[in-house]
Amino acid sequence: MNNVSELIKSHRSIRKYLDKEIEEDILMDILEAGRWAPSSSHLQAYHVIRIKDPEKRKVIAAYAGDQKYIESCKEFVIFCGDLSRIKHVCEEEDVKFDGAYLELFLIASIDASLVAQNVLTAAESHGLGGVYIGGIRNEIDKVDKLLQLPDFVVPLFGMCLGYPDQDPIKKPRLPMSIVYSEETYNEIDQDALDKYNDIVKSYYITRTKGKLNHNWSEYTSERLDGESRPHMLSYLKSKGFAIK
């Protein structure tokens, strides 16, 4: 197995950080790795915003459901889907820009996600740890205003980075027999799912010293019981995205 693949498979989200700054050249190397992600039609429909101001971090942490590590991490960046510069170049080139296609929102979201995962992998290769913060979408319009985002730019998720001050065990993933098939989609392998549920249950018991003991199906169904940020559609429409 090669080193990159080993590195990727050693991933754990890190939410507690040493009081040690990330050297500027290392941070720039990591962000630069993001810039080299593949991009749909080479549109590069993303933008990354580094948030240094502690007051702003505090406000964002509160918006994201009081996730304190947004304040305590050494670097916090926000990944945006961005069609605004594509709109700009279309206008320069006298081409009518119509950013309302759902397809374009997907392109921007996928581009930003690929950039972000490059950033996290590069960070981990430098001995750093991090965690994605989708919680910023709890109050997406307030985050939008705080960052002064123009039309066609939306904050998708943040990322906390720093040198790890914790060494959590890896969270077990669904097995290949469930997530992978050949030629056509396969039916759920219930035996494998039952086994996975047992593994996840033991993982939570070990990691939380018995405070949590749910399995993956229980956790997942609980997570989906109710609405899922129903404000997203009207927000996206207000930014010019995703209406057809």
Ligand X SMILES: Cc1cc2nc3c(=O)[nH]c(=O)nc-3n(C[C@H](O)[C@H](O)[C@H](O)COP(=O)(O)O)c2cc1C
**Please, are residues 129 and 72 in contact by the beta-carbon 8 Å criterion?**
no
Binding mask 133-152 for ligand X (x = CB under 6 A): xxx-----------------
Tokens of 115: 């950039």
User: Closest separation between CB of residue 96 and ligand X, Å?
Assistant: 33
Burial of 193: CB neighbours in 10 Å, binned 0-12, 13-18, 19+: middle
Assess contact for 192 and 167: CB atoms under 8 A.
no
The window from 12-20, 52-60, 91-99, 234-242 that contacts ligand X (CB under 6 A) reads 12-20
- Taking the least distance from each CB to ligand X, the nearer of 186 and 220 is 220
Extract the tokens encoding 15.
Answer: 């939410």
CB of residue 170 to ligand X, shortest distance in Å = 6
Cα gap 159→124, rounded to integer Å:
13
Q: Which is nearer to ligand X, 12 or 142 (CB)?
A: 12
Q: Which residues contact 176 (CB under 8 A, 6 or more apart)?
A: none
* CB closer to ligand X, 87 vs 154: 154
- Closest Cα partner for 186 from 175, 199, 195? 175
Specify the residue, 204 or 241, whose C-beta has the smaller distance to ligand X: 204
Q: Does 171 bind ligand X (CB under 6 A)?
A: yes
Q: Binding of ligand X at residue 109 (CB under 6 A)?
A: no
Q: Is 160 in the site for ligand X (CB under 6 A)?
A: no
Q: Is the Cβ of residue 12 or residue 16 nearer to ligand X in the bound state? A: 12
Q: Cα–Cα distance between 125 and 122 in angstroms, integer?
A: 5
Q: Are 64 and 133 in contact (CB under 8 A)?
A: yes
Q: Using the rule CB under 6 A, is 12 a contact of ligand X?
A: yes
Question: Which are the contacts of 149, defined by CB distance < 8 A and separation ≥ 6?
Answer: 80, 155, 239
Q: Does 11 bind ligand X (CB under 6 A)?
A: yes
Q: Is 131 in the site for ligand X (CB under 6 A)?
A: yes
Task: Kindly state the smallest distance separating residue 113's Cβ from ligand X, in Å.
Answer: 7
13 touching ligand X, by CB under 6 A: yes
Name the residues that contact ligand X, by CB under 6 A.
11-13, 15, 67, 131-135, 157, 171
